[in-house]
Structure 1
Amino acid sequence: MTDVPKASELSEILREMCTQIAEAAPEGWLRATANGFADKQDVGLAGVSYRLAASDEHAVEVDLRRGLRQAYRVSGASEQGLSIELTVDASGRFEAVTGLGVSRLSHPKRGFMYVLKPETLPPNPGDEQEKPVNPTPAGDPEEAVRLLREYLGRRAELLCGMLDDPSGILPAPLPPSRLEEVESRLNVALPADLRALYGVADGDGQVGLFGRMSWWMDTSGVAAVHGGDRHWAPRHWRDRPFAPFRPFVHDADPPGTVRRSVDRRGWIPFVIGTDGNYLAVDMDPASGGRPGQVIRIGSGYYHGPTYVADSVTALLRRYVDALARGDHRIGEDGDLWIDVPEPHKGAGTHLQTLRVTEDDEANLQLARQAPFLRAVELSRCRSADLTALREAPVETLDIDLKTIDLAPLAGHPTLRAVTLTTPHPVDLGTLRTLPRLEGLDLSRASTHGIRAIAELKGLLYLALRYEQWQELWAYTDRMPALAAAFLAGKVPYDKVADWTAQLNVRIVDRRPTAQQIHHGHR
């Protein structure tokens, strides 16, 4: 909530700007409107428009840059830009609406993003998957404890008896009452096998039982990570500025075991790696998974998690078996390296992304035998027949072709995000027939039939060049209820101000909150 001193200071700055507008007004004016934009680099003003008594409109250049800079500084907009709309009556009354949400983005995609509805994010594909067919955990708490003790014993033998007493190398067990408190904080129950392990030791004290550069966290660490910001999971449009619309998430291998999400509240990290990634127990699996299965998540898994084992018990068994086979070595520093194979390495055995580049005619026939194909990328090809994609469950399509014909994709049931790059005009009419289309980037495309965008009712994100936005608005007053918009290119700030003002008028329900509206008399 805006604090009172800042709100008062901002209102005074806006009042001074309105006084400037009134002083520059022509004879017979009734009302004036102005739209401005400011961020940490510059300011822009779309001009001041005066309505005269004869119902004429008269534009006047009024230098409000100083006020815009001051308003931005006082507003606390930080990395976000500040948009301002001023309305001044000849009677002396004024109203100002301020809003945050405009961000300047630079390389590799220069332009401005305007987040219109920050609470409206792209749908999560994992939410659409079915619950597990077998809801019983695969882990066994008694076996898990036995395996842990066997594992520690084998480690002790290999390291010359240094670790012969498990209680000497591991933290003390966690009392059951304390574990219940932790689970209450998590708001998710731990699987029984991991719970039993915490009854032996509260983590590994950074011994690295689950990998030389990884540590089994104590329960305080588990609760802190689980309830923290979970930095690997984008929760805002600006968390992924150069890929703002990414509904595509890989399916794990085996398919259908892990939900197609980047993060879920039912995923509880319990091992942290120095690379910023985690082993987590999955208490919210997909139809082919089991509660308590182990997955890898983190910043290195932005395309989705990987499946590791059906339980912590099974993971421990792999470590014990590896030591029994002799799949290990001891480093000069005394560290134990254990070669623990993971049978599933992500999406390697199932084609989920098809990339074709620098072909005269892009060959898409592989798509006909790819039941898990989710993303197609075509770059620097002359043309492509998209017919082969009709039956594939493709969700994202990124096409860079000399010529593009979208007609074969008419009615495609799963296509969610489309990016087009082409020097020759592409007919957008087919987009009307895509029931799931939620993201569209035409900023590097030549198009005709741009008014078709107005009929894309489910569209959440749209990226266009300034002249494309102008063309769209010239054809229609109707607009999809966008959650975020992108203005591509190196655009003058006066045009940015005009663009934000147009979006507010055409898309946003203009009923500002008490923190956004300022009014009074000059």
Structure 2
Amino acid sequence: MSSIRDLTAWEPLLRLVRDSGAERLDAPGGYLTGQIGLGSWSVPVRRPFPVPGRAAQVEDMQDEFTAVERVQDALRADGADGVSFMVETAPGGRTLLHVIESGPAVEPGFTSPFVGALLLVENAVPEPWRRLPEDAPGAAPAPSADPALLERTLRERLPDAIGATEEEIAEAEARLGVALPGELKALYRVTRARWQDWGDDYEAAERVGDAVGCELFSLDELYIADAASRPCLWQFAADDAVVTAPDAAVQGLVGSPGWIVFGDNGGGDRLALDLTPGPGGHTGQVIVIDHERTIGAGLRADSLTAMVTNRPDGRHQSRDADNPPAVARVNIRALDSVEAAARPELEVLGIGVWEGEPLGLAPVVGLPRLRTLTACPGTLADPLEIAGLKGLEYLSLGPEDWRVLLDAGAVPRNLSAAHIEVQGEAHPLPILDLANELLALWDRPLITRTVLEARPDTDR
């Protein structure tokens, strides 16, 4: 098999790209970009319109599929998960292919063709992903928690179910590293929810789901929903904040060593027993971990017994889940000044689309908890004021602002991750060079670029 650094792996795709984007490539400074992974791709190839009266067929795009598969084979040969590329026309009409390998220090990009967050410190995670649950003095099981009633109810609903033995329950506890609450033990004494017990009988599985009120995981599938179980890219995770209101039932965490996941609501949201409740919650309450959120959980029932016997619908999310007070946005639709954002609890400051004069950062200098600053290009009056923000772990700026910091030797060295915010049309190669300058400051693996010249017969 060819390597992704070999032209032979790319030639079929190059022909398609050249044919589809000839006008763009022939224009002065024209280029086209794309990305290919083992499970998906985005390539600048024009797809044919389907025949009127029928849907698009695989054969309509077979040339694209075949060309992409050739690159994917090269990825597998190299042991790589993905690659980015840029095609341009060089002086003299030569077609050049830039093969971009981001390496382990760069997350996938969204606003830039190749560059997401730069991981300046290996294995570092944003502050919310480091946050552990706080103690809730006086937290206790809800009055509705009744393991005996729960077991009786489930045995009436599932008289033929095969339950777990005490040895199997003990094995699950040893694997998880936590003792299972009495209600969860009672549930699995009635049914251990294993497919082999049902003989692939879907109706039997549905009966268990109906009896419990969720898609129940088997005893072997229980897991702890700690922060590591809820990964998120730095570009988005750095904007989150952990906030737990004084009366909140559920702590606003990414995850907790006390969240024991036992099921699914059928839509991808996980159900867990919460052993680390908020100030207004109960130990062993049932929470819903929303798969569309990266932080927090909602309350489903104050006990597993209540969920099974009363069948509550929906969930109750903290009022701060969408607009935590530790996060401030300054833009044309939110706060109208940095002064308005400055408060002691501020952790995340985002400066977005702005139509006024560039903004100064003096009002937030010295704030004890400020750890994230994102600023759209052109919104800062003086990027060097960033030197006064001593606690930053994540910084996202436009290329020009990064250039100011680099030239002045003023890039904050306490950063764990950084991002180059690109808006509008920007040539990718200078962005890659800028990213490598930042990575080099931390002696991190650089983005590599292999330039290949297409053979004449690759062109149209």
Q: TM-score, normalising length from structure 2?
A: 0.65
Give, as a single letter, the amino acid of the residue that structure 2 aligns with 1:217.
F
Match of 2:348 in 1: 417
Which of 218, 222, 239 is the matching residue for 1:246?
A: 239
State yes or no: 1:142 paired with 2:148: yes
Question: Percent identity between the aligned chains?
Answer: 26
Partner of 2:338: 406
Q: Map 1:107-122; keep pairs closer than 5 Å.
A: 112-113=115-116, 114-122=118-126
For residues 228 and 440 of structure 1, what CA distance do their matches in structure 2 show?
22
TM-align CA RMSD: 4.1
Provide the residue aligned with 1:15 in structure 2. Answer: none
Cα deviation 1:396-421 (Å, max 9, x = unaligned): 112222994323444x2211111112
Residue identity matched to 2:259: W
| Aligned CA distance change for structure 1 residues 102 and 494 (closer, same or farther; 3 Å) | same
The separation in 1 between residues aligned to 2:222 and 2:175, in whole angstroms, is: 10
Paired residue total: 352
| 2:81 equivalent among 78, 89, 93 | 78
| Alpha-carbon separation, structure 1, partners of 2:228 and 2:360 | 43
Distance of aligned partners of 1:40 and 1:248 in 2 relative to their CA distance in 1, 3 Å threshold: same
What residue number does 1:503 align with? 438
> CA separation in 1, counterparts of 2:244 and 2:269?
18
Q: How does 1:356-367 map to 2 (within 5 A)?
A: none
CA displacement at 1:301 relative to structure 2: 4.0
| Structure with bigger gyration radius | 1
TM-superposed deviation, 1:182: 1.1
- Return the letter of the residue paired with 2:390: K
Matches within 5 A, 1:101-500: 101-103=105-107, 105-106=109-110, 112-113=115-116, 114-124=118-128, 127=131, 130-138=134-142, 139-149=145-155, 152=157, 166-168=158-160, 171-203=161-193, 205-209=205-209, 214-223=214-223, 230=229, 233-237=230-234, 241=235, 243-249=236-242, 251=244, 255-319=247-311, 340-341=312-313, 345-347=316-318, 350=319, 353=322, 374=324, 394-401=325-332, 404-410=336-342, 412-421=343-352, 422-423=354-355, 424-489=357-422, 490-500=425-435
C-alpha contact 2:330 2:341 (8 A) present in aligned 1: no
Render the CA deviation track for 1:481-522: whole Å, top value 9, x for unaligned: 22221112244343124312321344x1x388xxx9xxxxxx
How far residue 250 of structure 1 moved from its aligned partner, in angstroms, is 6.5
User: Secondary structure of 1:112's partner?
Assistant: coil
- What code does the residue aligned with 2:316 have? K
What letter is aligned with 2:381? H
Report the residue type matching 1:133 in the other structure.
Answer: P
The question of whether the paired residues in 2 share the 8 Å contact of 1:80 and 1:102 is answered with no
Amino acid at match of 1:446: T
Structure-2 separation of matches of 1:261 and 1:212:
26
For residues 81-92 of structure 1, the aligned pairs below 5 Å read: none
Letter in 2 for 1:469: W
Task: Confirm or deny: 8 A CA contact 2:226 2:254 kept in the other structure.
Answer: no
Inter-partner Cα distance in structure 2 for 1:426 and 1:148 = 62
Provide the rounded CA distance (Å) in 2 between the counterparts of 1:246 and 1:195. Answer: 38
For the Cα contact (< 8 Å) 1:455–1:480, is it kept in 2?
no
Query: Compared with structure 1, are the counterparts of its residues 281 and 79 closer, same or farther at alpha carbon in structure 2 (3 Å cutoff)?
Result: same
Letter matched to residue 494 of structure 1: L
Distance 1:464 1:426 in 2: 14
1:135 to partner: Cα distance: 4.3
Deviations 1:79-109 (A, max 9, x none): 4779xxxxxxxxxxxxxxx9532345235x7
The alpha-carbon deviation at position 187 of structure 1 amounts to 1.3
Deviation, 1:261, is: 1.4
The separation in 2 between residues aligned to 1:450 and 1:227, in whole angstroms, is 37
2:255 partner amino acid: D
Q: Quote the residue 1:53 is aligned against.
A: none
Give, in angstroms, the shift of residue 444 of structure 1: 4.2
Residues 341 and 349 of structure 2 are in contact (CA less than 8 Å); yes or no, is this contact kept in structure 1? Answer: no
Residues 216 and 270 of structure 1 are in contact (CA less than 8 Å); yes or no, is this contact kept in structure 2?
A: yes
- 2:453 corresponds in structure 1 to none
Once residues 353 and 112 of structure 1 are traced to their aligned partners in structure 2, the CA distance between those partners, rounded to angstroms, is 27
Aligned mates of 1:313, 1:351 — CA distance in 2: 28
Pair 414,75 (structure 1): closer, same or farther in 2 beyond 3 Å: farther
Take 1:72 and 1:341, find their aligned partners in 2: how far apart are those partners?
46
Give the Cα separation in 1 of the matches to 2:305 and 2:174.
23
- Aligned partners of 2:336, 2:227: CA distance in 1, in Å? 45
Secondary structure, in 3 states, of the residue corresponding to 1:281?
strand
TM-score (norm 1): 0.58
Q: 1:293 to 1:81 in 2, by over 3 A?
A: same
Give 1:247 deviation, angstroms: 2.2
User: Which residue is 1:332 aligned to?
Assistant: none
Counterpart Cα distance in 2 of 1:136 and 1:219: 25
CA-to-aligned-CA distance 1:368-405 (integer Å, 9 cap, x gap) = xxxxxx2xxxxxxxxxxxxxxxxxxx211122229943
**Residues 309 and 126 (structure 1), Cα distance of their counterparts in 2 relative to 1, 3 Å cut:** farther
Instruction: Report if the CA contact (8 A) 1:193-1:312 is conserved.
Output: yes
Task: Give the Cα separation in 2 of the matches to 1:485 and 1:111.
Answer: 14
